[in-house]
Copies of this chain bind each other. A is one copy, B any other.
């Protein structure tokens, strides 16, 4: 590995997540970009390259070529502008490439935006578009995929529906305090357990939200308050049937191991994390693969919650505008480290982790951020 520069998150911009009938994809993205530029105190002309994460803009909104389409509207032209698509890890992948480029001296300052506009499509169409993140020929819908994983986890490790529901209850309680969250609603364990079954054992409250929203971060080799300590991206087969054991997502584990090594840290050093809880079982898998607990112990560990997970509300309550999620996680970890998570601020946190998942683990991105001393 060559000498790498320190990379800082010097600007953060978000829109609220929600269902916004009067907002289109581009206006959401541009709002997040303008907020990030303003936060960093720089002009669009200072951006050396534009990285866009978007899962399915063409399918949801009928528009492709989204990187220059959005960049141009934000007065960013003349520089490389590319869209990354890696399912639900689209903007995690964009962030990873952007971070690499600054760390290796290709660019001084880059902007990474993630966006998705989902709510203009009927629910059945949304489910069909989301299913394209799996192998459409052999996988089912995503609730079915994660239901199969949950059943197997229950069978192997004794995980219970209460363990799953506890994740939902926690994340809803968290999101209720985040002004940018989509569904700011506290729920009880009883409500979670009694909610409508989507794909057994998963109920409505085990599933993340269909949301509109955007997030943007600006990375720079200049000094900044929040530093990217590590970022790693890995891949795996898309189809669930091609995995050796469906409760084990090696792409998360591998990305985490690479990130810990790069940051010279271990799982024990992480103070808090934003994890990819597209379904409650996904958060349980993630804490296991990240090494926060041993394999199979994710249910009880999550209930005990020794470090705060998804203090923003997570995909479950903050919302999951698919292409925005990876960058939104980075933005939220950054806000925490800056002490700017107004209403949902954690005390005494210096090191945070963000974990973004594509499909059922075909893409994983793990990023560790730290407060500069």
Contacts and interface: CB of A to CB of B under 8 A. Distances in A.
Interface of A: 1-2, 50, 55-56, 58-59, 62-69, 71-72, 76-87, 93, 96-97, 100-101, 104-106, 129, 132-136, 233-238, 242, 250-251, 254, 358-359, 362-363
Number of identical monomers bound together in the oligomeric complex: 2
Contact of A106 (B55, B83, B100, B236): B100
Give 8 closest A-B pairs by Cβ, nearest first: A64-B132, A2-B105, A81-B235, A68-B362, A72-B237, A65-B87, A80-B233, A68-B235
A69 B238 contact: yes
Contact of A238 (B65, B76, B133): B65
Contact of A68 (B96, B237, B250): B237
A82 B69 contact: no
Contacts of A96: 80
9 contacts: A2-B105, A58-B132, A65-B363, A67-B235, A68-B86, A82-B85, A82-B363, A83-B85, A100-B106
A105 B238 CA distance: 29
A359 to B, nearest CB: 5
Among A62, A79, A132, find the residue whose CB has the most chain B CB atoms closer than 10 A: A132
Given A65-B363, A77-B235, A80-B96, 19 more contacts: A2-B105, A50-B235, A58-B132, A62-B136, A63-B132, A64-B129, A64-B132, A65-B134, A68-B237, A72-B236, A72-B237, A72-B238, A72-B362, A78-B236, A80-B93, A82-B93, A83-B85, A84-B85, A85-B85
Contacts of A242: 72
Given A50-B235, A254-B78, A69 B100 contact: no
Contact of A56 (B64, B81, B236): B64
Given A64-B55, A362-B65, A235 B80 contact: yes
A251 to B, nearest CB: 8
